[in-house]
């Protein structure tokens, strides 16, 4: 089943040339979720994506795997499982890969989560 609009003017890239074009993230007003937006280059074959959020000490505090997305523009919420204050600096890593090729692209983003109730 094909979910894309078949626009003959859209160049779709083969797996080895598929890239992460943009990675953005912002905490919600409560600091319990991180809204993540990803944009990929248009692809011929659906990739897989792993997202990992780590705190300043390198501890993983949230993660998600996206298997064969149907679109190259994605929005999702990472739910942060932590009972202590979330205020601080974090690193979000996105890894784009194909099982048969391995990693073809990656991006990292630094994020600061302010004290609860204060979003930037």
For the cut 90, the answer to whether the pLDDT of residue 84 exceeds it is no
Q: What pLDDT does 87 receive?
A: 80
Mean pLDDT, residues 12-28 taken together: 95
Share of the chain above pLDDT 70, in %: 88
- Which CATH number, 1.10.8.60, 3.10.450.230, 2.60.40.2550, 1.10.10.10, labels domain 20-113? 2.60.40.2550
Nearest to 54 by CA among 85, 91, 106: 91
Question: Could you tell me if 64 and 78 are in contact, meaning their C-beta atoms sit under 8 angstroms apart?
Answer: yes
Mean pLDDT, residues 67-80 taken together: 93
Q: What pLDDT does 116 receive?
A: 61
Is the alpha carbon torsion for 37, 109, 95, 57 positive or negative?
negative
Query: In Å, what is the CA distance from 45 to each residue of 4, 23, 34, 52, 109?
Result: 12, 20, 28, 23, 26
Q: What pLDDT does 9 receive?
A: 79
Break the chain into its structural domains and give their ranges.
20-113
């Amino acid at each position: 089943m094909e979910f894309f609009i078949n626009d003959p003017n859209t160049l779709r890239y083969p797996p080895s040339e598929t890239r992460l074009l943009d990675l953005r993230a912002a905490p919600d007003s409560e600091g319990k979720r991180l809204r993540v937006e990803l944009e990929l280059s248009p692809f011929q074959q659906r990739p897989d994506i792993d997202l990992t959020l780590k705190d300043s000490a390198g501890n993983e505090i949230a993660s998600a795997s996206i298997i064969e997305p149907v679109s190259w523009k994605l929005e999702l919420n990472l739910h942060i499982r932590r009972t202590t204050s979330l205020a601080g600096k974090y690193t979000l890593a996105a890894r784009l890969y194909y099982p048969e090729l391995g990693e073809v692209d990656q991006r990292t983003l630094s994020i600061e989560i302010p004290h609860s109730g204060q979003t930037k």
